[in-house]
Structure 1
Amino acid sequence: MTKRRSKRHTPEQIVRKLRDAEAMLNAGKTIGEVCQQLGGSEPTYHRWQTQYGGMKAEEAKRLKELEQENGRLKRLLAEAELDKAMLKEIAGGKLVSPSRKRQAVQHLQDTYDVSERRACQLLNQPRSSQRYQSEPPDDEPALLKQILDLVRRHPRFGYRRIGRMIQADGWKVNLKRIYRLWRREGLKVPRKQKKKRALGTGANACHLRRAERKNHVWCWDFIFDRTETGTTLKWLSVLDEYTRECLVLKVDRHITSEDVINVLAELFKTHGVPEHIRSDNGSEFVAQAIREWLKQIGVETLYIEPASPWENGYAESFHSRVRDEFMNCEIFENLRSARKQTDSWKEFYNEVRPHSSLGYLTPRQFSQQCISSSRTPSAFQRYTADTQLLS
């Protein structure tokens, strides 16, 4: 036996039935007889009386329309609140590329259980673009493998320097593609907060007396670190400000003014005599022995303003690279291992590492392109010959 479905009445029909029921009751019929005559039960009659009693058909129809409109507005409000919540969810980054929008659409579908159509409409993403599957080039896995290998070996290099190194290895790839892979893999070099410093007023500052050619101005300074056991290590660096070439990077427990003279003597033999040499006012550099020795050779000393390291900017910049890319990445077991590691990094810096200020050439490549304009080392040779005769 099939179950009969109850007939659904419109508000107008309910109001008419209530009107008829009221007339029957006034005629002396009971509620049971009225409900049987109208084809309904007593609970239904009382519910209708509570909801629509005293209304006219037009008023009941208007009430029904208002209820429907209220329901529609509630649904719209709920959808607007959902859209607002979804937009807040993805407000953390810029959605300017189709790939970023594809990721955002998929995230909204997984998080809020909405359809692809609605998520695409919210982000103004064509559904054809959402369903597009890119086909990477055949050489992309090998290229990505080399990028990651270089990043592991040089964690402080950005995508431009990594790209130049890859191009130097024979890859025909532009930096835009390197940057796309860089971003896709989430690679990033942490940015350091730049500290603002006041400019020095010393006449020998590097921004006032600039190097104009190779062997025009050298700069030197010291940098310190420790071995694994806590013993102090001291590095002496000498840099050609024009070519950015590291001429020497000597490490020892202690470096005296006599050691500095010996290092300079070797450099003058192999690289020629510079016109100027810039340094701070450290005790090793202002020592009377060094000043007199350089004066006899004919090298002008450029001492910067005290407590103004920015005036020796090339040395400070080089030391920041040494600290960031070498000392912070290596553990020095002892002096012997420190010397070996220092020689290896110095060769890498001069011959392999691209330098951004040199058009991403290495300092050695740039130095070979430059015509050395250093003075003939006759003064140094005469001084060496004189000291040998006196001895």
Structure 2
Amino acid sequence: MKILFPVTLVTAALALTACGGGGGGNDAPASNSGTVNVAITDNPSCGFNHVWVTVQQIRVNGSATAGDNDAGWQTLTLATPQRIDLLSLTNGVLQQLGQFPLSAGQYQQIRLVLVANGNTVVPTTATGADGTEVALSTPSATQSGYKVIGNFTVQPNTLTDLVLDFDACRSIVQKGNGAYSLKPVVTATPVVVSGRIKGYVSPTEVGAMVYAEQNGHVIKGTVVNTDGSFTLAPLVQSSANGNYDVVVVDKGYADAIIRAVPVTANADTTVSTAAAPISTPASGVQIASGSATSASDGILVRALQTVNGGTYEIASMVTNGSFSFTLPAGTPTYVGTYSSTLPIALTSNGIAAGQYQIEADETVTGAVQTTPINITSSSITNLNFKF
């Protein structure tokens, strides 16, 4: 998720107007009303040059159990539906959706409503060039809306900044018939409890992926800028959510892990500088590929490494068909522990290279299947999971 700082990286503003939904809205007394400022951002996507979604409404409710047609829903409607390329919203870049008056209180449900058409993807071709837009199936998008993970509180006579983090990589299901459907993973984070992790990687690794992880699960990811810099934001402050592990992954280089990185609200935590960037040795790569299928709408397939007793995600995708990962195979992972004194030393952890667990998570039932692999000397192309 990306955090909305009051004076940074907002690319466009859109007006919001009230419509229906019961309770509060423009009719709320001024003494018991606040304002919510909503922006949207994205994790980088896997295998796409563009991911277009068209947002028309945001719905909120104070009850965690309210049904689609129950009372208490307040609807924020964009004056004009906004078509957004999610892949342009990385490294702290936000798309401003607008401000809207809401009754003071805690909101337990948030839903994102898209238009019926105007949602597409452009898959990355073998040459990396843009291709033709492919329709993105969006069931339920235009009715009740997609559920957003998280909640927020509006204080009287106060502006609350809220960022909707749309994880395109884990929201797009690649089906066996070549079609794509949207099963969104969207998280809401209030800025007041959020901070950022910033750093640099070696200029030779521009375009690398950087993840903030907890317990082997990616919380936030981004792609390295052309100057080697990266920003992971928004991240909930460590006092509420625990520290983070920063994982750098690039084809042709050993992985790098900086453990136990703290995050402070409304502040930056720096893990490396342009003068002393994160850098790891070159590594050969191999392919881990196969298929993952189920009767549901998607399976999250992850490539995991176990390093010094911790588990770290190196790659992932959502599919109901084939999957393929290009993974470092020739050099062990390099690991260090966060220190405010830079640079942070990264050393080889001593584990054998090319050792991974491929995990398939059925996103509806929660069933999990895992297979250990060793790709030190060759690719493995017959990994198959079926639920």
TM-score range, shorter chain: under 0.3
TM-score between the two structures when normalised by the length of structure 2: 0.19
Larger radius of gyration: 1
Which structure has greater strand proportion?
A: 2
